[in-house]
Copies of this chain bind each other. A is one copy, B any other.
């Protein structure tokens, strides 16, 4: 009994000492982020000196060069580019759109959906049919749809507390709506912007054509424009037509890059903990929250660990993924190279939900026992408000690692989600809408999680 008790006491003492050390290190991480943080000035540079940076654009290339240079300036052990071919879609001339009510033309704000084809050069005019789901198309059939513009107008459901879920449940209209409507002979598609906010911003974002289908032009309409169109349709029915003109098109695929920086592991250099966001952004704005805060926040997490003199056991990598918005080619390439190079991936953290106050992280791949063990980490995060450590999470850039690096734990960074869809994929996604402290707290929470994973793994 005596020996057992002594062992138990020793174990408790060791565990308590480790926890005290963890607590101290995390406090240092937050202090560095909040007192000497570089994420906000990096974000300012990315937004204001580079700006919009859609895959294949000259700005995307500038962003790659900037990313590499900044990582090198921080003295990371290894900084390199991963070549990846990406689509090069361009919006062309600014879109035009009108609701046509007899001789009355009412201008409404639209933006071509990413990857959409153009309308005819003179634009496209047709009767409008409003629908609220993809399923409704099947019910209506070709008789009702052929030759018309299908107007998807199912709004965000405001009852979801996390807006990501509202996005997920309304998103099929944008992702699949155009290809689904084309099947029944629609000539164009207008999609209500994916936001709860009532305003005049059209929210762009990729649509996915059926490779075997007919590609019809598709655009997002602002929520206020959608309400106006819907009200007129209710009032006047089939008399209402819609006109839109866009010249969006594809250029040849382009060579681009993921940007990678490493702190080499002192014990397990071939085991990796990745943190990253995507460097590309839509063309309409500066891509501040989507995903400038992701790349600068992830970069900052690794900078902080480096600055504090932390020597990781495993290799810590920050990755600026290319082409998340319209192809995911960077994420696919990263996973492919991980497999080719026989890298062992412990965990990958993705930050692509904006730079808002961090609430926690979602984990995919943990056993129930491992999830339960996160309770100790919850206590460490609680003073910082980032203690929501829950099952489920990841992201589209790290997703391909699941297959290519079996055993990896995929982790999604979870900031407060309330404001994200006010700015998402709009001209309003600008630096001025990012709060410095919120961004800094996010980078500190990621640095803390990386530290804990590196020290303890998922026991």
Contacts and interface: CB of A to CB of B under 8 A. Distances in A.
B196 A161 contact: no
B441 A161 contact: yes
Nearest to A36: B158
A384 interface: yes
Interface stretch (A92-100, A182-190, A206-214, A416-424): A416-424
A357 B388 CA distance: 15
Given A357-B418, A416-B416, A418-B357, A35 B438 contact: no
Nearest to A162: B385
A343 interface: no
A153 B62 CA distance: 40
Contacts of A418: 357, 435, 437-438, 441
Interface string A338-360: 00000000000000000001010
Given A357-B416, A357-B418, A422-B435, A158 B441 contact: no
A383 interface: yes
Nearest to A32: B159
**Most chain-B CB neighbours within 10 Å: which of A30, A31, A161, A435?**
A161
B30 A159 contact: yes
Nearest to A440: B158
B30 A161 contact: yes
A224 interface: no
A197 B436 contact: yes
Contacts of A438: 418-419
Contacts of A233: none
A106 to B, nearest CB: 25
A385 B161 contact: yes
A161 B383 contact: yes
A163 interface: yes
A381 B387 CA distance: 15
A383 B388 CA distance: 11
A23 to B, nearest CB: 14
A359 B159 CA distance: 18
A419 B435 contact: yes
Contact of A159 (B31, B163, B196): B31
A34 interface: yes
A437 B196 contact: yes
Nearest to A439: B418
Interface in A285-307: none
B384 A161 contact: yes
B159 A34 contact: yes
A282 B422 CA distance: 28
A390 to B, nearest CB: 10
Contacts of A161: 30, 383-385, 441
Interface string A428-453: 00000001111001000000000000
Nearest to A35: B158
Nearest to A422: B435
A419 B357 CA distance: 10
Nearest to A161: B384
B419 A159 contact: no
Interface in A76-131: none
Contacts of A435: 418-419, 422
A416 B359 CA distance: 10
B385 A437 contact: no
11 contacts: A34-B159, A35-B159, A161-B383, A161-B384, A161-B441, A163-B437, A196-B437, A385-B388, A418-B441, A419-B435, A419-B438
Which 10 residue pairs of A and B lie closest in terms of their CB atoms, listed nearest first?
A34-B158, A418-B437, A418-B438, A357-B416, A419-B435, A357-B418, A31-B159, A34-B159, A161-B384, A418-B435
